[in-house]
Amino acid sequence: MARPKKPPAGKAPKPPKAIASTQSLSAFVKSICDVMRRSNCASALQYVPELTWILFLRILDAQEARDAEQAEALGGEFSPALRSPYRWQDWAAPWSDKPGHPKTSDGKVQGWKRQALFAAGDGKLFEFINKELLPHLHALDMDPRTHLPNPAATPKQRIIGRIMTAVERVRVDDEANLGDILDRVHEINIDHVDDTHFFTLSQVYEDLLLKMGEKNSDGGSSSRRAR
């Protein structure tokens, strides 16, 4: 398994990706899928679900950060659905030691958990996602001890847990490629996505889902021919 590339000291992550059109977003998403295809996600049936949950957690984190800022501006309180170290800004965001690099809501450098996992050695990012992050997200919906709805979870947390229950493990099998995928997805900033561009994003996903259907049909046809 390839060791993830160490972020060069002082190098700042790329700025957020501006979404200008269906074509540009489609090309950007395709570049992410191309990386996934090199890492145990050869078909659309594999890389579309993988991209979906990763993008979901990215947008969730950005939305929560924006809601927290709005609540603070209005003098209100905000209770996040996810807390450290399970937020995207902790474990998935790119890390940099460059002055001015964004910080988490609790004052740590964004990507601190990801950097700590990298420093701990090969396989630690996968281990965190599969053994800590995903079980934590699943438990937001159903308590693993009682197998009953989590009584301490908010409605929003239960929805998050229900969405993530379908994800049993990260399918990408190369840490360097996973890091590349996370960096690319992080470039999509919801501050650059208005209602029109959310429609653009939905169009791109429709294209991906069509590919899933085509692959499924091809597989079925191949199976029938093989009989």
With respect to residue 14, please indicate whether it lies within any of the assigned structural domains: no
The amino acid sitting at 56 is: F
Range of the domain at 43: 22-222
With respect to residue 191, please indicate whether it lies within any of the assigned structural domains: yes
Average pLDDT over residues 109-117: 97
Q: What is the pLDDT of residues 124-135, one digit of tens each?
A: 999 999 999 999
CATH code of the domain in which 164 resides:
1.20.1260.30
How far is 141 from 132, CA to CA, in rounded Å? 15
With respect to residue 1, please indicate whether it lies within any of the assigned structural domains: no
Banded model confidence at residue 198, pLDDT cuts 50, 70, 90: very low
pLDDT value for 225: 38
Banded model confidence at residue 4, pLDDT cuts 50, 70, 90: low
With respect to residue 190, please indicate whether it lies within any of the assigned structural domains: yes
Average pLDDT over residues 37-66: 90
How far is 123 from 84, CA to CA, in rounded Å? 21
With respect to residue 83, please indicate whether it lies within any of the assigned structural domains: yes
CB contact at 8 A, 204 and 22: yes
Banded model confidence at residue 190, pLDDT cuts 50, 70, 90: low
Number of domains in the chain: 1
With respect to residue 8, please indicate whether it lies within any of the assigned structural domains: no
Helix (H, G, I), strand (E, B) or coil at 126: helix
Banded model confidence at residue 226, pLDDT cuts 50, 70, 90: very low
With respect to residue 118, please indicate whether it lies within any of the assigned structural domains: yes
Please say if the pLDDT value at position 43 is more than 90.
Answer: no
% of the chain with per-residue pLDDT over 70: 72
Output the furthest CA–CA distance in the chain (Å, rounded): 67
Please say if the pLDDT value at position 144 is more than 50.
Answer: yes
Out of 126-130, 136-140, 194-198, 218-222, least confident range: 218-222
Banded model confidence at residue 102, pLDDT cuts 50, 70, 90: very high
With respect to residue 12, please indicate whether it lies within any of the assigned structural domains: no
Query: For 96-194, where are the alpha helices, taking DSSP H only?
Result: 112-120, 124-128, 134-139, 155-164, 175-186
**Comparing C-alpha atoms, which of 124, 105, 122 is closest to residue 113?**
124
Whole-structure pTM value:
0.80
